[in-house]
Each structure stands twice: as structure tokens, then as C-alpha cells.
Amino acid sequence: MSQTPDVPIPPGLAHRYGHSAAGRAWLATLPGLIEQLRTEWQLELDLEPGTMPWHGQGSLVVPVRRGGKAGEAAVLKIAYPHDEAVAERHALGLWGGHGAVGLLAADAVSGALLLERLDPTHSLQDVPLEAAVPVWGGLLRRLSLVPDGRPGWREFEHVAARAEQWSDDLPAEWEQLGRPFPRWLLEAALEVCQTRGAVGRRAGKDVLVHTELHYRNVLARPGAPSRPEAQDFAAIDPQPMIGEAEFAVAPLLWNRLRELDRADPRRALLERCRDFSAAAGLDAETARQWSLAREVDSALRHASRPHRTGDLARSLWVASALAGRTLDGLPAPHDLP
């Protein structure tokens, strides 16, 4: 194989990681790592001249072909080193392409993954909500594996442990950030942490949880029909954990807010929680509780970044709506980012 020309780095990824020494060092490693893996895995770059590869918030995704220009279509994913990137390959290995993108190869040193190529132009974001509900529910049922003896299970944090950590961290962060929202909303999240943390430890309902199963993280497989079913889509970017499957519902609620019924958006949000939960065989009340706690955690992260005021307002609207007492002074959900 001849040497591959340098793959251009998308400006969004360069901007995100160009502000720190560690980020710049990672960006500098990418050309050499791509060339190393191209040779090791017998890959051909499948990128039109002048076009950029794809990227997520923390990874570069390069279209390639395995075994030559006429070979199997795939993507090479190289993520910025972090704990979730390590856990991802173990989760994909356990799923084996059932409900999630297929894992073709993995490099344990760099964390790079060779993955089945999905259709990046067709996600569940593009599917009307009423049609997205059964697709998402069917995918979650496939993804909710019960732990077995395979070694990959040791790599995942438990959802109950996260709740126990939040019980300590959320009040401290709330105080440190100058109490950015009323105490009652914090206490509602802490009650969830105490309840679900204890239940999660003893309920025996542990499954593998895709914690970022939002609409854009569900991509169509090539050739998906116009009226797709769950098998026509696959999940990506799992950030996997172990615990109650209801933990996965939250990202569906804080996205696509503009599609809520304008007459009563809070009721519509709770109905969305019930609909997606029912499609996946989940308990809607447990999903509501976990979503409340997750969104309060998100609100505190946004509050720590003064430029993220729109994101903070969104998190506060969703969290307080789930708590049954929408905060005053927030924009209407249809005006939120």
C-alpha cells in the first residue's frame, strides 16, 4: 500500500481540543496513528478529495474500506483518551452488532475502533417521533443484556454507584456554584439518588445500559426502508454502564423539545417518557426519576460554564417539569436550545 495522504482534521474537533496542551498533543498523534492502523488493518481511505471526515464531540471518524478499494465499507474511529472510550469497545463486543454498531477490530493501546459503516445522514433524529418510539424501544430491548461470565462486564461502572456519588457531589457543587437553582429541585434529585441507588443495589435487574441513546446516536444501516423497524438502525457511542435500563430514557427528554405540545409542554414531556418507556418494556416512573436526577446533574455542569446559559435553562426546564413544578422565569421549551 502507498502512504495515505494526511487526513484533514475537522475544524470543530481542532477547535475543541486545540485549547489545551493535552488536546493539541492528541491532535498531533492522529496522522501517524491513522497510517499505523491503515497498515495493520489493511485499510484504504474512502474519503473524497476535499471532504472532511466525520467527528463527534470527542472523536475522529474516518470512512475506510477493509481489504482494498472494493472491500468492506467501515469507519475508523479514534477517540480522545477517556474512560468511556475504553469501556466502549467492551460494550460493543458484548452486543456483537445486535442493536449496536458492529465492532470489526479494536486497538487496546490507542483505543481506536474499526466499526461497521452506518448511514451518517440518516439518524433517528430524522424520523417522526411517533415512528421513532417503536424503533428506539426495540433497540433498547436488544441492548439490555443481562450480565454473564464474559470478562468485558468488569469494565463498567454501576448506575447505583453513580447515584451514590451524586448524593455527595450534587449538594457540594450546588453550594460551590452559588446555589444556581432552588433547593427543592436539588432535594428532588437527591431523593431519587437515595431511592434508586438503594433499589439498584438490591433489585437484581442489572442490564448493560447505553446511557447516551439519544436520537442522533441511532443511525440507519445502509439501505434502510422508508418505514424502518428496529433492526434497520444501530446505536453508536454508548458510554456504557450497568444497572436499571430506565437510566437510558433521559436523553430522549432533553432533546427535540420544540416538538412538545405547545398547549401543555410539561404534560407532553411526561407522555413522551411514558411512551418510550412502554415501547422498551420499562417502568415509566423509574425512568422519570432517573431522568430528573440526570438533568439536575447536567444543570450543575452547565452552571459551571457561564457561556452555556441556554443549556442551563433547558436542563432546569426539563428537570423541574419532571419534578412536577416548572421553575418560573425560564423560556418556553420551544425557545430553548
Topology of domain 122-335, CATH: Aminoglycoside 3'-phosphotransferase; Chain: A, domain 2 (3.90.1200)
Residue 185 neighbours by CB distance under 10 Å: 22
> In terms of C-beta density within 10 A (0-12 exposed, 13-18 middle, 19 or more buried), how is residue 11 classed?
exposed
Q: What stretch of H or E contains 27? A: helix 21-40
| Cα–Cα distance for residue pair 136/142, rounded to 1 Å | 10
The CATH number of 11-117 is: 3.30.200
Q: What is the pLDDT of residues 202-240, one digit of tens each?
A: 666 899 999 999 999 999 998 877 777 888 999 999 999
Mean pLDDT across the chain, nearest whole number?
92
Domain ranges of the chain: 11-117, 122-335
pLDDT at 4: 54
- Confidence band for 198, pLDDT divided at 50, 70 and 90: confident
